[in-house]
Structures are given as C-alpha cells and as structure tokens.
Amino acid sequence: MDFLCPSNALPEGTSRTFSVGDLELFGVRRQGRAYLYRNRCPHRGIALQWSAEASLLEPGAQLIECAHHGALFLIDSGECVAGPCEGEMLESLGCHEDERGLWLTRPAAPESPDR
C-alpha cells in the first residue's frame, strides 16, 4: 500500500491529485467516502485538469469534470454520463482509509506501449 495523505487533506466535496511513482491519480471525497481514480480521461488518455492545482469537480461539486472537453463523470462509479466518452469509465483504483489517512491499495497496471 502507498500512503497518499492524512484524511483531513481531502475534505468533503473536494478533489486532490497525487503521484505514486509514475502513476498520476486523484481522490474525491463525497458523503464521507474517498474515491481514487487514475487521472486519465477515457476519451483522449490525458489528465482531466489543466494544472495539478485545479479542481477535478464541476462547480456544484456533484460530478467529476474533464477540463479539456467537458465530459462529466459520476463520483461514486467513474461512469461518464455526458460528453464524448459517455458510457465509458474512469479507471477506479483501490482505496483504504484508516486513522492515519488515505492509502492506494491496488496500483494500476502499467501503461500499454500503444497509448
């Protein structure tokens, strides 16, 4: 497992990016639960936001938003519900939370050479 941050570093209704080795990922907290996804849009295979400091949530903080083309994803499943990749999914990553904070429990598979 890889430690990401203390729990209070990902407050309710916010997102945050992380790097673990060469894996770029992000976390979102909704209704007290943390979700982790690979920071990669299924439409173009690029990071969802313009800069590491930018939020990955739309202004109402109800959906994950790709800043490049406006695709919207459900926080709890990663399913795209609007945009050019509708019906596709963000890659969910294993997340564990304990008294020390958030942990990545299942690293993503390495990138395919053809991407």
CA-CA-CA-CA torsion for 14, 71, 78, 47, nearest 10 degrees?
-70
pTM of the entire predicted model = 0.89
Determine the average pLDDT of the residues in 24-47. Answer: 94
Is residue 93 within 8 A of residue 38, CB to CB? The reply is yes
**pLDDT tens for each residue of 86-108:** 999 999 999 999 999 999 997 65
pLDDT exceeds 70 at position 56: yes
37 touches 78 (CB < 8 A): yes
In order of start, what are the domains of the chain with their CATH numbers? 2-106 (2.102.10.10)
Q: What's the pLDDT at 53?
A: 73
Residue 58 in this model has a pLDDT that exceeds 70? yes
